[in-house]
Copies of this chain bind each other. A is one copy, B any other.
């Protein structure tokens, strides 16, 4: 929390807060992670295949459990943003890599991150990650088939 990069990011845009979220993941840094989140008791987080975790104490505990295994090798494969005046909804496809008994495995995870602008700047209020897929599915922006 004394890291000047963190303080700078904390005054920044939703994009900068999101960048800070993924930096915290890559460093397995719990304090840096929690600085990204709003202190609102209604924040909520869903890790892939897991239950919903609500509130700052439970969200912190959930990330602590993730970081027990060390840093997370995650990057943004692509993101679709809906940036509004008071909230920002970022639809992120994460590329996550992990070493397994079968070698290095890659998964693509569909994520919705929501940020809200507060007096303290933008903060994360929701992180919802679905289970990973082996392939990076591109977003569908028009129908693939026409039925009539």
Residues of A within 8 A of B (CB): 40, 42-44, 46, 48-55, 57-58, 60-62, 64, 80-82, 84-87, 89, 91, 93, 110, 112, 114, 116, 125-126, 128, 130-131, 133, 137-144, 147
Tell me whether A139 and B53 are in contact in the complex, defined as CB-CB below 8 angstroms, given that A91-B44, A110-B128, A112-B128 are known contacts: yes
Taking a contact as CB atoms closer than 8 A, the residue among B57, B64, B142 that contacts A57 in the complex is B142
Question: How distant is A34 from chain B, measured CB to nearest CB, in Å?
Answer: 13
- The distance in angstroms between the C-alpha atoms of A14 and B63, with both chains bound, is 30
| Whole-angstrom distance between the Cβ of A115 and the nearest chain B Cβ | 10
- Copies of this chain present in the complex amount to 2
- Chain B residues with CB under 8 A of A84: 86-87, 116
Chain B residues, CB < 8 A from A110: 46, 52, 128
Q: Which residue of B62, B64, B142 contacts A58 across the interface (Cβ within 8 Å)?
A: B142
Which residues of chain B have C-beta atoms less than 8 A from A143's C-beta? 57-58, 60-61
Q: Is there contact, CB below 8 Å, between B131 and A131?
A: yes
Q: Are A54 and B86 in contact (CB under 8 A)?
A: no
Q: How far is the CA of A142 from the CA of B91 in the complex (A)?
A: 27
Determine if A54 and B139 form an interchain contact, defined as CB atoms under 8 angstroms apart: yes
Q: Which residues of B have CB within 8 Å of A140?
A: 51-54, 58, 62
